[in-house]
Amino acid sequence: MSEPPTVPSPGVERPRRSVLYVPGSNTKALAKARTLPCDAVILDLEDSVAPEAKEPARRAVVEAVAAGGFAPRELLVRVNARGTPWHREDLAALARLPVDGIVLPKVETLEDVREAAGVLGASGATAAPALWLTIETPRGVLAADLLAGAHPSVAGLVAGTSDLTKELRARHVPGREPLLHALSAIVLAARAHSLAALDGVHLALEDEEGFATACRQGRDLGFDGKTLIHPRTIEAANRAFAPDPSEVEAARRLLAAWSAARAEGRGVFVHDGRLVEELHAREADRLVALAGAIASRTAGG
Ligand code: COA
Ligand code: MG
Q: Does position 4 have pLDDT exceeding 80, yes or no? A: no
Per-residue confidence band for 280, with pLDDT thresholds at 50, 70 and 90: very high
Q: Which residue has the higher pLDDT, 248 or 298?
A: 248
Neighbours of 149 (CB within 10 A): 15
Which numbered ligand comes closest to the C-alpha of 134?
Answer: 2
Q: What is the phi/psi pair of residue 222, to 5°?
A: 115, 0
Please tell me the distance from the alpha carbon of residue 46 to that of residue 199, in angstroms, as a whole number: 18
> Among residues 34, 115, 47, which one has the least CA distance to residue 75?
34
Cα(22) to centroid(ligand 2), Å:
14
Please tell me the distance from the alpha carbon of residue 100 to that of residue 176, in angstroms, as a whole number: 31
Per-residue confidence band for 126, with pLDDT thresholds at 50, 70 and 90: confident
Cα(270) to centroid(ligand 2), Å:
47
Ion ligand 2: residues, CB < 5 A? 136, 160, 163
Q: Residues of 260-293 as b/e, b for ≥16 C-beta within 10 angstroms?
A: ebbeeeeeeeebeeeebeeebbeebbbbbbbbee
DSSP state of 26: -
Please tell me the distance from the alpha carbon of residue 236 to that of residue 230, in angstroms, as a whole number: 11
Per-residue confidence band for 9, with pLDDT thresholds at 50, 70 and 90: very low
Whether 196 is in the pocket of ligand 1, judged by its Cβ within 6 Å, is no
Whether 57 is in the pocket of ligand 1, judged by its Cβ within 6 Å, is no
Residue 40 near residue 66 (C-beta atoms within 8 A): no
Neighbours of 124 (CB within 10 A): 9
Residue by residue, DSSP assigns 98-126 as --SEEEESS--SHHHHHHHHHHHHHTT-S
Model pLDDT for residues 208-263, shown as the tens digit of each residue = 999 999 999 999 999 999 999 999 999 999 999 999 999 999 999 999 999 999 99
Length of the chain (residues): 301
Residue nearest to atom 36 of ligand 1 (CA): 230
Instruction: Provide the whole-model pTM.
Output: 0.94
Residues of the chain above pLDDT 70, percent: 95
Residue 228 near residue 19 (C-beta atoms within 8 A): yes
CA dihedral sign, ordered 220, 224, 229, 231: positive
Q: Does position 3 have pLDDT exceeding 50, yes or no? A: no
Mean pLDDT, the chain, rounded, equals: 94
SS (H, E, C) 58-79: HHHHHHHHHHCCCCCCEEEEEC
The amino acid occupying position 237 is A
pLDDT for the residue numbered 300: 63
Residue nearest to atom 10 of ligand 1 (CA): 29
